[in-house]
Amino acid sequence: MKKIAFIFPGQASQYVGMGRDLFEKFPVARKTFEEADSALGFSISRLCFEGPDEELRLTAHTQPAILTVSTAAFRVLEERSLQPSVVAGHSLGEYSALVAAQALKLAEAVNIVHQRGRYMQEAVPVGEGAMAAIQGLSMEDVQKVCAEVRSAGVCSAANINSPAQIVIAGAIAAVEQAVKRATEAGAKRALLLPVSAPFHCSLMKPAQDRLESDLMGLEFKDLRTPVVTNVDAQYVTSGRAARAALIRQVSAPVLWEQSVRVMMDAGVDTFVEVGPGRVLSGLVKQIDRTVKILNVEDEKSLAATIESLAGAVQTAG
């Protein structure tokens, strides 16, 4: 029996034109985009389909844009009676997962991630924070590198993505020093990322405090499908626990590799990336090449996924 996880991408998966094919070919997707536009009071659809890229890459726009495309893709799958055993999302993607699990309404979620993006951007002035991807060092080695540069400012692991990739975040001087030291320590690759803020580190605490107030004002329903949270890499089914995890997630590292392994330990053998791009598909492949990895972002990938899953039997849990 197959156990299927739907996984939802986060920031950096966006591209101009994403979601247009779904919008044009599936009424439920068109309705999703219209719902998001109405809730936000501006056309996130236009930004997804037409850009410009520099506007789409603004954190406050990127987050609701990816959430909307992911939800549209999920609803197209749902209409075809394809349901996951568990859901998870990378950072921002956890909101998409919770919309899919019916803990949050889309209209509420797009507004909250619009604010989340703004709070995260405003927490650290542009040019003062940075993130870098390190490949080929163990978690222990990365932590050692971060500790060695602490005199230059905050520097810590932000995304534990796979055995091959750990992303660090913090003050720009510290992160730049860490990149140099990681290279000296034998990293296959260590490079600064083109991001506008140092996500998932202690510098995000001001954003976390602002977002907590907003999240506490929202109703979180108990989940129809369990979610594996970024912050603990644990199954969660209560709305209260899901909200608490989202609050802590802002300044805590994303435990993506651990989350994927937790799902595999529970019997998941098929992962479907729901939303733009194939970033998470690549990370899952780095974690374990034996599982089946599919994606849905347009009509072509939808058809391939449906064909691959034909006859799959869903199990609960």
Q: pLDDT-derived band of residue 317, with 50, 70 and 90 as boundaries?
A: very low
Q: Are residues 240 and 103 in the same domain?
A: yes
Which tokens sit at 25? 């070919």
CB-side exposure of 182: number of CA atoms within 13 Å?
A: 33
34-39: long-range contacts, CB 8 A cutoff, minimum separation 24: 35/106, 35/107, 36/64, 36/67, 36/68, 36/71, 36/106, 36/107, 36/110, 38/107, 39/106, 39/107, 39/108, 39/110, 39/111
Question: pLDDT by residue (tens digit) across 87-96?
Answer: 999 999 999 9
Query: What Å distances lie between residue 253 and 165, 217, 305, CA to CA?
Result: 13, 24, 31
Amino acid, single-letter form, for residue 211: L
Question: pLDDT by residue (tens digit) across 161-200?
Answer: 999 999 999 999 999 999 999 999 999 999 999 888 899 9
Residue 76, pLDDT > 80, answer: yes
Domain final residue, candidates 144, 160, 195: 195
Q: Are residues 113 and 225 in the same domain?
A: yes
Q: Are residues 28 and 56 in the same domain?
A: yes
Q: Are residues 87 and 221 in the same domain?
A: yes
Q: Are residues 134 and 83 in the same domain?
A: no
Active-site residues: which are they?
91, 200
Contacts of 217 (CB under 8 A, 6+ apart): none
| Residue 82: domain span | 4-123+203-309
Residue with tokens 């039997």: 313
Question: pLDDT by residue (tens digit) across 33-58?
Answer: 999 999 999 999 999 999 999 999 88
Question: pLDDT by residue (tens digit) across 270-315?
Answer: 999 999 999 999 999 999 999 999 999 999 999 999 999 885 544 3
pLDDT score, position 314:
43
Contact 294, 272 (CB under 8 A): yes
Domain count, the chain: 2
Q: Whole-model pTM?
A: 0.95
- Residue 161's φ and ψ, nearest 5 degrees, are -85, -40
Residue 210 lies in a domain: yes
Q: Using only C-alpha atoms, what is the Rg of the chain?
A: 19
- Can you tell me the distance from the alpha carbon of 70 to that of 66, in angstroms, rounded to the nearest whole number? 6
Contact 283, 167 (CB under 8 A): no
Question: pLDDT by residue (tens digit) across 113-170?
Answer: 999 999 999 999 988 999 999 999 999 999 999 999 999 999 999 999 999 999 999 9
Which tokens sit at 278? 């194939």
Buried b (16+ CB within 10 A) or exposed e, 131-151: bbbbbbbeeebbeebbebbee
Domain final residue, candidates 172, 195, 218: 195
Q: Are residues 68 and 138 in the same domain?
A: no
Q: Are residues 148 and 277 in the same domain?
A: no
Amino acid, single-letter form, for residue 18: M
Residue 315 lies in a domain: no
